[in-house]
Structure 1
Amino acid sequence: MTTEVLLDTNTYLRLAKRIRPAVGCQFGQVPYVVVILKVVEEEVHRNPKLRFKNPWFDEPEFAQERLAKQTRLSAADKQDMKLVQDVLMGTVQLEIDKYTSHGRSPPGPTDCWLLAYGQIKSAIVVTDDLGMHTLAEEAGLRVWHGFEMLAKLRSAKVVDNDLVRDIYDALERNGDMTDTWRTAKHEEFKRIFGPKPKGND
């Protein structure tokens, strides 16, 4: 039984340019298969900043891959997901302080739609959004950080150490390094980057 691994927008943008092919990639003994939903495409196209920072997004190679392998939702799927999305949005509104502390943004409709897919399809959602992790924990849903997926791809020999370094270099250059990725650099990928340098707390 294959387990779907659903990428949110930022995770797709961080990984898909260098892990080829990204969508439809199968890995691990479970096995896992990487999927995306149409909302990722829509989110990038309506966000000028994302389009500017990721000009490769609409290059034919990537656009055709997404079109060919994008997960299609049935009417029943959409109806079920809408119900779960509404519950998740309500959960956020009931405890809004929990999701806005430390300068975070609360999960929005797109975030909740992706988590709803995780609920309905028993999929793992990959996101570096800490608010989504908090909400997923509340709802008992499975989520990974982007670096966790990258570590699993490395264990499955889909990516090698050089590619892990390339991805980290790209995150640094693009100013896209999150605290979780930075911490993982010297913990999850200690064999590649070595232990955390002293004095860098």
Structure 2
Amino acid sequence: MTLLLLDTNAYLRIAKRVKPLLGVAFGQKDYQLTILEDVEREFQRSPRLQINFPWFQDGALQSERLAKRFRLSRDDREQLDAAASVLRGWVIGNASQYRSPPSPVDCRVLAFGQLKQAIVVTDDLAMHKLGEEFGIATMHGHDLLRRMLAAKMVSKADVRGIYRALEANSDLPATWEKDRDTYFPRLFCREDDDPG
């Protein structure tokens, strides 16, 4: 099994349209998606996220998150806190290297990836940079979507729907847009761009 840990934004970009999402094995590498309880806390602390993603409180999604999020033992939590502290110290000491430095929650997510050999799914370029500096595997959300499509966990219509929703909400990451035609050739009909 290859564990894929979604950061908050990666979860928010796909969870509404891919059900079930967490804990479902897919692909040749037997990928399995999970989240940390930090996603829940980050959402609860952010009025902006609560306004932009009211569906997050949907009962079925809450149940899925509660049932399928990764459970940490006391030892795991201690190791995670220590590893996150090292990452956070690095970020603070090298803040000028980042346009927008990774947050404490971002450091915890990456620390989990490091401790559990999980791949962290994030579209935050600063998290990719920090992950690279510490040898922590990361993947963009559109790369995850491509793997889900190849494994038939999502349909072509699902992929188009996710892209369109992100565009409509002005939440389409630049990497998703840049790699769209490379990752999903012939999936997006360019006639939509034709004004006539």
Q: If the TM-score is normalised by the length of the shorter chain, which range does it land in?
A: over 0.9
After the TM superposition, which segments of 4 or more aligned residues of structure 1 sit over 6 Å from their partners? none
Question: What does residue 138 of structure 1 align with?
Answer: 133
In the TM superposition, residue 160 of structure 1 has moved relative to its aligned partner by: 1.4
Residue 186 of structure 1 contacts residue 194 of structure 1 at CA under 8 Å; is this kept in 2?
no
Alpha-carbon offset, residue 29 of structure 1: 1.2
Match in the other structure for 1:56: 55
Q: Match of 1:33, SS?
A: strand
Distance 1:69 1:157 in 2: 21
Structure 1 residue 108 displacement after superposition: 1.2
Give the C-alpha shift of residue 194 in structure 1. Answer: 6.1
Partner of 2:77: 78
2:41 is aligned with 1:36: no
The residue number in structure 2 matching 1:87 is 86
Which 5+ residue runs of structure 2 have no aligned equivalent?
A: 191-196
Deviations 1:22-68 (A, max 9, x none): 11121111111000110000101110111111111011110111111
State the Cα deviation string for residues 41-100 of structure 1 (Å, max 9, x = none): 010111011111111101111011111112111110011111111111122122211112
Identity %: 46
The equivalent of 2:150 in structure 1 is 155
Aligned residue identity for 2:154: V
- TM-score scaled by length of structure 1: 0.92
Comparing 33-42 and 65-74, the one that deviates more: 65-74
> Secondary structure of 1:91's match?
helix
Aligned residue for 2:12? Answer: 13
What is the RMSD computed on CA atoms of the aligned residues? 1.6
Unpaired runs of at least 5, structure 1:
196-201
For this pair of structures, how many residues does the alignment match? Answer: 192
Rounded to whole Å, the distance in 1 between the matches of 2:22 and 2:2 is: 14
**What residue in structure 1 maps to residue 124 of structure 2?**
129
Q: How far off is 1:140 after superposition?
A: 0.5
* Whole-angstrom distance in 2 between the partners of 1:25 and 1:176: 26
